[in-house]
Structure 1
């Protein structure tokens, strides 16, 4: 078994290593474009004056376009070259970003915007969204990397060579932990506030990745580290909806909660791309097959741990809930929110 250095013979090796990150980034863009409208669905009938049935065609048209164009573009790639078709698709996405920028400007100038961007930019709303993106990144690395690590061949020096069924059983305790700890996280939020719960959860996630970095060769340590990350994920994910619901007006809770879920999904997509880039770049040759090295997995865990700590810092920066007398509360059940706080204005 020998290490494979980064190719220096020419551009071919570099292009080969960039293929997976570029395709993963394209997958992220596709996921975002397909789901970004979902958080607005509950409010679109009211905002557009249309019936719910008419609005549902918006999602249907998007799905139909994806279903029809996927084989068409695949055939175009066979006929005219996959690189050309990929560049054309990325060009269309770049054009969509320009349209999005124009739309955002129009929404900021509108007296009755479809999406209240000013409210979304306030610290009480924007910071939970950022924390959701980072927590989604940190959460997904746990299951994504663990599944690949335990299935790695034993000959690699660190892998366990488990089957797909055994790998699923290794991931099963994580779901059980999240189910059991959900009531506990709710009580913590009630006693100390959702902001503290989010900070504690993301810090525990970072601690779990420290365990993963220290030892990723023994199954019981792998399961322990994954369990610790799952514990932190439970606390973090249970606190995020509470923070959003307490920060926006009642009429916007559905769309704001949907955006928060979308941010978690984007974080998971970013994690998938980042982990793929790390594992592809650090490989060994084993029986003629390229497999990731153990330092590659440890680097992925370190990356996820740093992201979890960043989420913890963002959580601590979220403003505390105001109490009825106007002072800030850091623990216990918050008092009624002032309208100015809900609107994100001083």
Structure 2
């Protein structure tokens, strides 16, 4: 009788990383899967291009708001529970999009899909609690790389659907994948006993949500509304006022949503700043590559390829993220996560140098995009480990949620900057207004400089053994029942 009882946890541990990784990939797919559809959706839904753009904005906003909230809730009420909530909501949102062509319902469904952004930080926290210490680094690296893998796979998959099937098929597939992964989570993942009890900070949650909505709405819509418009300036002013009030509240309450005293320490703050820069630099690659190669040949620089081929240009980068995940783990184990983040930042910058000088042939474009993705993989592997080593185990989900939030803000700012640049430098071809090649060069220069900023932030992060590093308390005891008390559940 002892054999099966002792082998069951081993089986669960063996499948824990693949199952959580599948959750991360499915959630990341939702970020890019709709992008190839955007040019056709106004006609398909009987709406305008500005209205259709909310299918991206709604996902961004809901993901940014829900990631830190679900992270804190996971630390308090159970990480598996919150992970399943996120996947259930993703399934519902995908099903709504599969069943309708009404733009209002589609936007609501996309907002529900965005809640799954919290899956990756929750998964990282579960891995820290459940895996043996020797396996945590590899698991976290793979979980982090799912962000890039899902984004890289989403574009070519969506492109193939757009070219060969009804666009609703994409959302039916997302629904099926989400339900399969949800079932696997229920079977394989067990609830972590590591908790951070206390009263949920409702006021702080509402304040953070209001701040993020004002900030990200202004950033994502600034190009369309005008950066000097009353809407944009009003939202930015409101964001500034709210964040100061929210910060004062967080410092005053006994169980804050975000522990600003811990977050302000260099060992935590600097990785979050680096995450902001990495999110910006990585996203510029995704936004520009497919659009560049799909530009008509008449422009003098475009290759005129299909939507599917344009998406496939990012696929080798996704493959490299999988390949580099174990390499990043070994590098982090031997040289430390700061060293791995530095190497990744350098690769990001080099990737954009390649892109500046070789954006004329398909294979060189793919090469540059793959180098950028490789640097991103190493950065994404290192960032959670930098956060994990600097915070208590009971705050892991919330802290990684903030780190993921910083990446999201970086991506939102990048989207606004890229849109502004591509509309500022244009050319007319056959009556069509297209971005000039110079516009893409400006984007690559900006993204490369931002990668350099990430490197500077990395170099300023204190060493783990340094005097400013924060010690990590030992994780809670293994949550299996004691032999004398074989009851269900684990000790907290």
Bin for the TM-score computed over the shorter chain: 0.7 to 0.9
Instruction: Trace 1:143-158 onto structure 2 (pairs within 5 A).
Output: 143-158=286-301
Q: Matched residues in 1 for 2:236 and 2:425: separation?
A: 30
Q: Matched residues in 2 for 1:267 and 1:327: separation?
A: 26
Q: Matched residues in 2 for 1:284 and 1:134: separation?
A: 30
RMSD over aligned CA atoms reads 3.8
Maintained 8 Å contact 1:145/1:297: yes
The alpha-carbon deviation at position 123 of structure 1 amounts to: 0.6
Q: Specify the alignment match of 2:471 in structure 1.
A: 337
* 1:248 aligned counterpart, secondary structure: coil
* 1:291 aligned counterpart, secondary structure: strand
Q: Specify the alignment match of 1:74 in structure 2.
A: none
CA deviation profile, 1:7-47 (whole Å, cap 9, x unmatched): xxxxxxxxxxxxx9xx999x879834652343232434876
Q: Specify the alignment match of 1:4 in structure 2.
A: none
Instruction: Trace 1:318-333 onto structure 2 (pairs within 5 A).
Output: 318-322=461-465
1:41 to 47, 65, 70: 70
Maintained 8 Å contact 2:71/2:401: no
Q: Matched residues in 1 for 2:450 and 2:261: separation?
A: 26
2:387 to 226, 244, 249: 244
Residue 263, structure 1, aligned to residue 397, structure 2:
no
CA deviation profile, 1:215-251 (whole Å, cap 9, x unmatched): 2111111111111111111111100010000011111
The alpha-carbon deviation at position 96 of structure 1 amounts to: 5.9
Count, aligned residues: 291
* 1:36 aligned counterpart, secondary structure: helix
Q: Specify the alignment match of 1:288 in structure 2.
A: 431
- Flag the 1:89–1:214 CA change in 2: closer, same or farther, 3 A: closer
Q: Specify the alignment match of 1:174 in structure 2.
A: 317
- Flag the 1:45–1:179 CA change in 2: closer, same or farther, 3 A: closer
Maintained 8 Å contact 1:47/1:114: no
Q: Matched residues in 1 for 2:442 and 2:75: separation?
A: 48
- Flag the 1:45–1:200 CA change in 2: closer, same or farther, 3 A: closer
CA deviation profile, 1:166-211 (whole Å, cap 9, x unmatched): 1122111111111111101111111110001001101111001001
Q: Matched residues in 1 for 2:75 and 2:373: separation?
A: 39
CA deviation profile, 1:73-121 (whole Å, cap 9, x unmatched): xxxxxxxxx98xx956974675465344223212212343332111111
Q: Specify the alignment match of 2:10 in structure 1.
A: none
The alpha-carbon deviation at position 144 of structure 1 amounts to: 1.1
- Flag the 1:252–1:267 CA change in 2: closer, same or farther, 3 A: same
Q: Specify the alignment match of 1:219 in structure 2.
A: 362
- Flag the 1:45–1:286 CA change in 2: closer, same or farther, 3 A: closer
* 2:428 aligned counterpart, secondary structure: strand
- Flag the 1:30–1:234 CA change in 2: closer, same or farther, 3 A: closer
Maintained 8 Å contact 1:130/1:263: yes
